[in-house]
Amino acid sequence: MSDTIEKIKCLIIGSGPAGYTAAIYAARANMNPVLYQGMQPGGQLTTTNEVENFPGYVDGVTGPEMMMQLQAQAQRFGADIRDGWATKVDFSGSVHKVWINDTIELHCETVIISTGASAKYLGLPSEQHYLKMGGGVSACAVCDGFFYRNQEVVIVGAGDSACEEAHYLSKLCKKVTMLVRSEKFRASKIMEERVRATENITILMNHDTVEVLGDEQVVTGIKVRNKTTDEIFEIPATGFFVAIGHQPNTTIFKDYITLDETGYIVNTPGTSKTNVAGVFVAGDAADHVYRQAITAAGTGCMAALDAERYLAAKGH
């Protein structure tokens, strides 16, 4: 552990729209925020090629470009943006202790957790290839469905959000093929019935994805296997949506912060407050419903304002 302990008024852990927005507000309020960018600087948006639904960007913007702009905006007001990630915390006392890269020890008056969530993928090399290429693999139908208007797409998943995303895609796309890996849906009855009743959704139960096919640049089809008959066949498609869930990046907080059964941080409704005074949450680490850049940014603002009020009440 480190010899020197750094004292920080406001520490922000994570650097997506939530973290950077919190940094902008905290810096403008003279809270001298320090932000550690984490394992994926810029967060999930850096895997998105085109962001067209964030208000104010008339012509759209790439995810990485938008994150660079948010970072520059936070730095303009004096936010201290650093490389590194939180590896351990101790929120048991009045001073909130956080360790960075297992070596640097920070003592913080307030902490804003904006560690986000990571989309789960199947892990196929072909899936990862086209995800990196930005050529047809996505974990967010609401973000990317628009790019597949009047095209044929495939979606993998069996839960409520998979059904919701399939239904969303059905209104934009010519044909949606839904691959359910087991013999039954995990979704609620009402959501299952909704997709079954949608004409242009074809549901294939008990099917596995074997490979994402394409021309190295863009997706052209999906190779699937019928687990009952072992038959392997191809489905033509320009888009492949993975809706098998998200994993919130909250494990290091579990001993101190209240999490729900899937690992999302439980906040006091209408606020960014957690069960620990002086520790706040913003963005997808606490949001399994909306998961949009704009909602994450909104909660980043809330967290900075809540932290500012907390400090003011303590006479800082």
Q: Please tell me the distance from the alpha carbon of residue 214 to that of residue 221, in angstroms, as a whole number.
A: 6
CB 116 within 8 A of CB 14: yes
Exactly one of 10, 108, 143, 173 is catalytic; which is it? 143
Tell which residue, 86, 78, 77, has the closest CA to residue 106.
86
Distance (Å, whole) CA 157 – CA 244 = 5
Which of the residues 140, 163, 287, 306 is marked catalytic?
A: 140
Q: Are 164 and 170 in contact (CB under 8 A)?
A: no
Active site residue 143: yes
| Structural tokens at position 118 | 């990571």
260 is catalytic: no
Distance CA(306)–CA(287), nearest Å, equals: 18
Half-sphere exposure at residue 69, Cβ-oriented, CA atoms within 13 angstroms: 8
Does 230 participate in catalysis according to the annotation? Answer: no
Q: Which residues pair with 104 in a beta bridge?
A: 100
Which is the catalytic residue, given 3, 83, 108, 144?
A: 144
Instruction: Please give the C-alpha separations between residue 309 and each of 73, 79, 261, 297, 313, in angstroms, as whole numbers.
Output: 23, 19, 30, 19, 6
Active site residues: 140, 143-144
